[in-house]
Amino acid sequence: MKLKARSKKRRRTTARRRFILKRGKNVHARWKKRNKRSLTMVMKRRRSLRLKRRRIHRGVPPIGKLTVPVWEHPLVSIIIPVYNKWDYTYRCLVSIVEHTHDIPYEIIVVDDLSNDLTARIGQFVNPITVIRNQVKRGFLRNCNHGAAVSKGKYVLFLNNDTKVTPGWLAHLVVSAEKDATIGIIGSKLIYPDGKLQEAGGIVFNSGYAWNYGRLDSPDKHEYNYVKEVDYISGASLMIRKDIWQHVGGFDERFAPAYSEDVDIAFKVRQLGFKVVYQPKSVVVHYEGVSHGTDVKTGVKQYQVINHQKFKEKWAEVLQRHHLPVGEHLYWSRERSKDKKTIVIIDYGVPSYDKDAGSRTTYMYLKLFVDMGFNVKFMPDNFVKPEPYSSELEQLGIEIIHGPQNHNYYEQWILQHKDYLDYVLLNRPNISHKYIDLIKAHTRAKILYYGHDLHYVRELKRFGLENNRELLLSSNYYKSLEFDMFAKADIVLTCSESEKRIIDGHFPHKKATLLPAYFFEQTIPRDKTWEQRSGLLFIGGFSHSPNTDGIVWFCREILPIVVQAIPGIQLFIAGSNPPPEVLGLQSDRVIVKGFVSDQELRELYSTTKMAVIPLRYGAGVKGKTVEAMCHQMPLVATSTGIEGLQNISPTIEPKNTPQAFASEIIRLYHDNRLLDQKAEQSKQYVEMYFSKSKALASIQSAL
């Protein structure tokens, strides 16, 4: 390195000598003077740059300039009021850019005369709207000022001492877009150490506001479902712009800060809109950075002053609709005092696209929500599979989920026994674990829904296989089911034939016929019969009758059909196909396995007929009703259509291989008959499996 430096110095000296010889001493003097001036300027620039970097790095992470996406028509205007605390503000902005995608937004920073790098925010973050006050306004007026220039359909107030997480904004917007009755919606707030700061706010009748769940684990079930709350913290609060303008923004009587977020929640609710907590929107909040924690000094003292103002303003509402401090938190945390609570217990969270029983449970969970119930779900298997669990929680259903020990469920029931109005038990092998505890310790009315009579199903299978273990199983299930019928207040059944059995054995018990499935409307046909081909079988293969039925069809019925209709194909769709079903795969038989709802709709729209070749079972078959909802002509055995009211004019059962095959052959190429069968299916579903029919059945039962 030294040799290189000397060589470089010699070259400069040689060049200078040549210049002097060529131009003379006067030119040399001018050259020295000019270069000295240039060197001074360079040194000044370097020194200035070093100082600038040093100032920036005191409060800024060592990253480049932050570029914010630009949308001509932002959906959300994010208002961030700031006063100093540049490092927090910058980290907040970085997190917004990193974790906010697919939602058009704008950022409006309202600077309350900061004297740190915040005053030069435009040099580091661009493009954003910056409003720099000429006089100090305080937090509340800064929010109002920022909202006045916003362009979005929604205004979102975000503290500068926050960091947002992936999906935080999308979850708020999607919920608000789906439900026009939501006026305000806000985030789950957590501390930097991962503890919960707030899962919605509670206001007691004293006017005292409380952060629900403070310092607890944010993963507990009581903090992870969408719910109405008394208020949303202004640290991350989104409100519809038209409602904001209607109520006049934050009430300036609460300036400079505190109680304004609680007050606006009360005003929005007074207009008939909901204030909602969205747990999927997670925001880290460095609480107390802006105003400290001492309520005796500075801006923080207004927390006490404004509490009194708020209490006086809303005295009548507080006394009429809010509860005393610390009492009935079960109601206060979700504003459910005026709702009936129903607990649904089943083997697990319903995977509605995998088996018919789960689809039934899922449909009725949604119906109870629509009816205004406070709905809780208890999975007996302790599992919270996704996306099914999140879907329930986003509907507002709390999934009771704790340690994998039934003692936890028992403790929860005992702890909340005074709040339970109804308990809906599903399936005999699950329900018997809970019914005695519920009857002994709660005032809840118990509904029992067996899905089907298990003992009848096992008895029919015994008739086919002559396996004595099936007879023992049938007797076991009969004892369980009859015990449930005797103890339950209300028995629900989806099958007309099974209702007759229950009524015969328990004449004094109220047994209600409940549609196993219901639909808003039938699915229109979008393809002609000429555009369709093939047969379709749908069924979850965890249910043994489906395996038996399709194997029987492929071995005994399909060969007859192929002789009359060469080239015909059979499509088999359903979760968990066993080896004997997978072994049916061929050029003629296509085993699809599990398919999504979209793929299932495609199969229904491209095949000509559905087949229901079940030889044993009980209850109503979901595959039968679903096929009719898609206006599919179908051929079925007696078991495939059992339990359906007045079904014979629509579907005549075919129980032998020859009869089953002949019906397929008769219908397959006759478009007139196919149209007739499709129309009959449509009319049947509209009469017996509409949402209004299901609603009337539930109301009658309750």
- Taking only the tens place, the pLDDT of each residue in 381-404 is 999 999 999 999 999 999 999 888
pLDDT at position 69 over 90: yes
Are 236 and 156 a contacting pair, CB within 8 Å? Answer: yes
For residue 168 the two structure tokens come to 């935080």
pLDDT for 1? 46
pLDDT for 59? 46
**Among the listed ranges 126-130, 208-212, 355-359, 547-551, which one has the minimum average pLDDT value?**
355-359
First to last CA, the chain: 92
pTM tops 0.85, yes or no: no
* pLDDT grade for 380, boundaries at 50, 70 and 90: very high
Specify the DSSP class assigned to residue 121.
G
Q: What is the DSSP string of 529-541?
A: GGG--SEEEE--T
Taking every pair of Cα atoms in the chain, the longest distance, rounded to a whole number of angstroms, is 127
Q: How far is Cα 565 from Cα 559, in angstroms, rounded to an integer?
A: 10
* pLDDT grade for 448, boundaries at 50, 70 and 90: very high
* pLDDT grade for 357, boundaries at 50, 70 and 90: confident
pLDDT for 125? 94
pLDDT tens profile 293-343: 544 555 677 788 888 999 999 999 999 999 999 899 999 999 999 999 999
pLDDT for 288? 64
pLDDT for 236? 97
For residue 550 the two structure tokens come to 């399709």
Q: How far is Cα 187 from Cα 684, in angstroms, rounded to an integer?
A: 45
* pLDDT grade for 35, boundaries at 50, 70 and 90: low
pLDDT tens profile 579-595: 999 999 999 999 999 99
Look over the chain and give the mean of its residue pLDDT values, rounded to a whole number.
Answer: 90
pLDDT for 53? 52
Q: Which H helix or E strand runs over 162?
A: strand 162-164
pLDDT tens profile 599-650: 999 999 999 999 999 999 888 898 999 999 999 999 999 999 998 989 989 9
pLDDT for 57? 47
pLDDT at position 24 over 90: no
**Helix boundaries (H) for 302-348:** 302-313, 315-321, 329-332
* pLDDT grade for 60, boundaries at 50, 70 and 90: very low
* Three-state DSSP class for residue 209: strand
**380-383: long-range contacts (C-beta < 8 A, 24 or more apart)?**
380/345, 380/346, 380/347, 380/348, 380/430, 380/433, 381/347, 381/348, 383/348, 383/349
pLDDT at position 439 over 90: yes
**Which residues is 106 bridged to in the sheet?**
77
Q: How far is Cα 99 from Cα 89, in angstroms, rounded to an integer?
A: 15
